[in-house]
Amino acid sequence: MIRIFVGVGGNDEDLEFQAVLHYSLEKHASEPIDLTWMRLSRDPSSFWYSDPQRKAGWRTDRWATPFSALRWGIPAACNFEGKAIYMDVDMIAMADIADLWNQDITNGAMLSKPEAICVTMYDCAKMKKYLPSIEKIKEPRQYLEVRRSVLRNGCVQRYKGNWNCLDLRRDSGGEYGDLHDPEIKILHFTQIPTQPHLRHAMPRLAKEGRKHWYTAMPRRDHHRKDALEFFDKMLDEAIAHGYTLDRYRNPTPFGDYGR
């Protein structure tokens, strides 16, 4: 079983990408997947409990997103046993995630791209020695603190393959001409204002009387028309296969992030 954890907002902001990511992972996977959506919860018994108004639980101050540092809680969420993959929600799997899952972590405790840790596979037991306590991780500003610490301590081993292709850029410079280039294992729409699902999510949220968590800059179209078309095609395909948006709604929306 491939354990995957994905960080998402708590107020249904990114349902379209949840459907596309989930469907694309299942479509290509050659082994079963257990996917956990990590989102803040008001339930004190939840592992993801947060109450920003009372400054309790996960403290999202200074996080870029309402889920940035949840990734550091994954080894503890797995009781420091086995392996687990973290990924952002704004991604499309283009290859079999088992090809990442079955890579060995021989040097350090996590497989990732050190300059962009948006896709990471943890050896949860080995991570224990590199991470502060879960209570410490929940404190404000810990996202960057922990990131600096794990990078400094050399626990990151680079994976084989481009499992985090940032907006179609090549690691060696330049851009992929074909988004179906076999080097691209996961396509990551990392620049938030140009994320393709926002064209659908923002009008939907407006109809529901809600807003997206990202408000820093206005939305604009991605510079690659083929990427926009591909996202729309995948969204249609996902919905046609039963990966409908309502299946991803948070039954108890989080409400005010206090950010």
Partner 1 sequence: MDLITYRRGLARLAREQKEKRQVVIDQLAECGDRLMHTLRVAMRGDGVTVYRIGYYDPSSKVENWRMLGELDTLDDALAYVSYLNGGPKPSGPPIKPPS
Residues that bind partner 1 (CB under 8 A): 1, 22-23, 26-27, 29-30, 32-34, 36, 47-48, 76-79, 81-82, 241-243, 246-248
Tokens in use for 244? 């409908």
Which CB, 143 or 243, lies closer to partner 1? 243
Beta-strand (E) ranges in 134-257?
A: 156-158, 165-166, 186-188
SS3 for 119?
strand
SS3 for 76?
helix
SS3 for 162?
strand
Which CB, 131 or 165, lies closer to partner 1? 131
> Phi and psi of 56, rounded to 5°?
-125, 155
Element (H, E) at 147: helix 142-152
Provide the minimum distance between the beta carbon of 37 and partner 1 in the complex, in angstroms, as a whole number.
Answer: 9
Number of C-beta neighbours around residue 174 at 10 A: 9
SS3 for 21?
helix
Which CB, 69 or 165, lies closer to partner 1? 69
Element (H, E) at 134: helix 134-137
Provide the minimum distance between the beta carbon of 40 and partner 1 in the complex, in angstroms, as a whole number.
Answer: 13
Which CB, 220 or 247, lies closer to partner 1? 247
Provide the minimum distance between the beta carbon of 71 and partner 1 in the complex, in angstroms, as a whole number.
Answer: 14
Provide the minimum distance between the beta carbon of 28 and partner 1 in the complex, in angstroms, as a whole number.
Answer: 10
Which CB, 82 or 114, lies closer to partner 1? 82
Provide the minimum distance between the beta carbon of 79 and partner 1 in the complex, in angstroms, as a whole number.
Answer: 4
SS3 for 116?
strand
